[in-house]
Amino acid sequence: MSIIDRPSSSQVAIESAAQALYEAAAAQRPCQPPRQLLSAHDLAGAYAVQDCNIARWLGDGRRLVGWKIGLTARAAQHRFGMDQPNAGALFADMEIADEGEIPASKVIAPRVEGEVAFVLGRDLTEEAPTLAEVIRAVDFLLPALEIVDSRIEGWDVLGVDATADNAAAGLYVLGAQPARLANVDLRLCGMTLEIDGTPAAYGAGLACLGNPLNALRWLAGQAVRRGRALRAGQVILSGALGPMLPIAPGQRAEVRISGLGSARCHFSAH
């Protein structure tokens, strides 16, 4: 199903699902899966739910600074019942400083992933951008930790639920040393994700749709079809380069990506 298809769910169902997720995010208390309200496999409806909450958050004064791409591994798509990636919004208050501490009050059931972050230097306004146009739009790269979090009870999540829930976007950490695209082999760059100093997951750029640039290209077209073209200055989290790991209070996470450097954070024990 195309995301520009008309939702098969009713407007009442879409608004009810959006309200439940909005309240769950505000209270940091999980809710039931949106699929209990939406029509089965209604991806367009899930994005309509997401759009409702993006509008609410902007009305609350939050500042949109970019986008995250999820489900970029075929195995993850299969697990969540999807045949394509999904996307969610990033707001300025989601960013945690490198080496920063994450209070327990900011997360519900966090998991961590190692990713490449693109920072755009040009707008991407074509529905079917060429690879050259996508490369030209990238200003620089940063290593990133994405703290994925679900507002849905018990991570009882399928693709429609995750998409409605802003693609399970929680928080993110960026490394502070920018790199140029020409200096990094994004397909073969290796990733190590450490928990409390012990390597716990490994991966490489090819795990992200074969190359993180492919994920960015997908998002650029998807964003135009949603009426939300990517803009210069935005941060784009490309999708995981390896497995997603649970993280517990008091633990530290650090990602190291060859050619990009590292980013790290600490989860408060209280």
CATH of the domain at 140: 3.90.850.10
CA atoms of 90 and 19, how far apart (whole Å): 19
Q: Which of 229, 198, 170, 222 is nearest to 24 (CA)?
A: 170
Integer CA distances (angstroms), 132 to 122, 138, 217, in order = 13, 10, 10
Integer CA distances (angstroms), 262 to 15, 82, 176, 178, 234, in order = 40, 31, 8, 11, 20
What is the structure's pLDDT at 12? Answer: 96
Residue 5, domain member (yes or no): no
Residue 13, domain member (yes or no): no
Residue 55, domain member (yes or no): no
CA atoms of 160 and 145, how far apart (whole Å): 24
CB 231 within 8 A of CB 120: yes
Q: Compute CA 219 distance to the chain's CA centroid, rounded to the nearest angstrom.
A: 11
Residue 31, domain member (yes or no): no
Q: What stretch of H or E contains 247?
A: none
Domains in the chain, number: 1
- Looking at residue 107, its amino acid is V
Residue 17, domain member (yes or no): no
CA atoms of 120 and 257, how far apart (whole Å): 20
Q: Compute CA 141 distance to the chain's CA centroid, rounded to the nearest angstrom.
A: 16
Task: For residue 206, count CB atoms less than 10 angstroms from its CB and return exposed for 0-12, middle for 13-18, buried for 19 or more.
Answer: middle
Kindly give the parts of the chain with pLDDT less than 70. Answer: 1-4
- Looking at residue 64, its amino acid is L
CA atoms of 209 and 67, how far apart (whole Å): 17
Residue 254, domain member (yes or no): yes
Count the neighbouring beta carbons within 10 Å of the beta carbon of residue 109.
17
Which range of residues forms the domain containing residue 193? 66-267
The reported pTM is 0.95
DSSP annotation of 151: S
CA atoms of 241 and 221, how far apart (whole Å): 21
Residue 33, domain member (yes or no): no
Residue 153, domain member (yes or no): yes
